[in-house]
Amino acid sequence: MTTYTCPEGHQSADPEWCDTCGSPIGSPPPFPSTMPTATVGAAPSPSPTTTGAATGSTLACSHCGAANEPDALFCESCGFDFTTGQAPPVRTPVAPLPATAVQSGPTDFSVTVSVDATWYQLQGVDSNEPCPPASSITLPVHGTTVLIGRTSTERAVIPEVALNDDPGVSRRHAQLVQAPDGAWSAVDLGSMNGSYVIADGAPLTEPLLPIEVGEPVPLPAGGRVYVGAWSCIALIDNRVPPANPTAPLPPDPGATT
């Protein structure tokens, strides 16, 4: 009976998947575990030996299956990144930057995070926490995603918008995502209390429905995402000429704070 040897060295009767460990047979062994994992979009290692995964003369792409040069950093066919294992990048208008990178000069987009008293009245009063005084902060947006959540060092969750004081926010709560065409949308990542999107300048009124988990909802500039007990995140397009002021928060006659 024919047996096959899997990349881990097990003998397998199944020609495609190892009978013991489930590794694909005939594809390269896993990448060295010392590879960077946390920095999405980090520059690939300059050393071509990091891929050292080629069997024979070609390197099979684990994303699309195409054969590549053994020392390739990216798949020629689909653009799969062999170093980080990141799926083919969508055509990004700006070079991806590590989240922590400091970019000088204004960015195209920013988000204004504020304590919203109206939202607190609708959603947060049940939390038994007093609403903090009104405040807001504007953060520049680097790259094409903005994670909204609470910082957790144990789980290595470091959101760009860290709402660490809001008890109603999940660690990985929601994400703002920019599509290749530049349009933004908001995605709920399976949060406990849901995310609520008001895409236009409409005021906050009941009834409100949370957005579907995992379903991107279009978020044009000026749109707001409400999460947790009192947090409001508004997307601002800095390229808009000053004629249209950047404050996307609607006039809110009901709020007295």
Partner 1 sequence: MATYTADVFQNEFLPDGSAEVHAVVTVACTGAGQAGQSGAGDAAEIILIDTSGSMDMPSAKMIAARRAAHVALDEIHDGTLFAVVAGNTGAQMIYPLQPSMVRMDAAHRTAAQQYVAAVRSGGATTIGRWLDTVRELFNTVPAAQRHAILLTDGKQEHETPAELDRAIAAATGVFQCDCRGVGENWVVDQLRKISNALLGTVDLIATPDQMEADFEAIIKRSMSRGVADARLRVWAPAGSEVIFVRQVAPTVEDLSDRAVQMSPLIREYPTGSWADESRDYHVAVRVPPAPVGSERLAARVEMVVNDQVMAKGLVRAVWSVDTDLTTRINPAVAHYTGQAELADAIQQGLAARKEGDERTATVLLGKAAKIAHDGGNEATTRLLSKVVDIEDPDTGTVRLKREVATLDEMALDTSSTKTVRVRREEPK
Interface contacts to partner 1, rule CB under 8 A? 17-24, 27, 30-33, 35, 37, 40, 62, 82, 84-87, 145, 147, 172, 175, 177, 187, 189-190, 207, 209, 213-214
User: What is the nearest approach in angstroms of partner 1 to the Cβ of residue 4?
Assistant: 13
Q: Which is nearer to partner 1, 14 or 106 (CB)?
A: 14
Question: Cα–Cα distance between 159 and 225 in angstroms, integer?
Answer: 15
User: What is the nearest approach in angstroms of partner 1 to the Cβ of residue 96?
Assistant: 12
Q: Which is nearer to partner 1, 114 or 170 (CB)?
A: 170
Q: Which amino acid is at 23?
A: S
Q: Which is nearer to partner 1, 112 or 178 (CB)?
A: 178
Q: Which is nearer to partner 1, 128 or 256 (CB)?
A: 128
Q: Which is nearer to partner 1, 114 or 178 (CB)?
A: 178
User: What is the nearest approach in angstroms of partner 1 to the Cβ of residue 83?
Assistant: 8
Q: Which is nearer to partner 1, 115 or 219 (CB)?
A: 219
User: What is the nearest approach in angstroms of partner 1 to the Cβ of residue 117?
Assistant: 22
Q: Which amino acid is at 109?
A: F
Q: Which is nearer to partner 1, 37 or 136 (CB)?
A: 37
User: What is the nearest approach in angstroms of partner 1 to the Cβ of residue 45?
Assistant: 13
User: What is the nearest approach in angstroms of partner 1 to the Cβ of residue 87?
Assistant: 4
DSSP codes of every residue in the chain: ---EE-TTS-EESSSSB-TTT-PBTTSPPPPPTTS--SSTTPPPPS-GGGG---BTTBEE-TTT--EE-TT-SB-TTT--BTTT-PPPPP--SS----TT----S--SEEEEEEE-HHHHHHHGGGG-SPPPPP-EEEEE--SSEEEEE--BTTTTB--SEE-TT-TT--SEEEEEEE-TTS-EEEEE-S-SS-EEEE-SS----S---PPPBT--EE--TT-EEEETTTEEEEEEETTS-TTS-S--SPP-TT---
Q: What are the tokens at 64?
A: 């699309």
Question: Cα–Cα distance between 244 and 155 in angstroms, integer?
Answer: 41
User: What is the nearest approach in angstroms of partner 1 to the Cβ of residue 86?
Assistant: 5
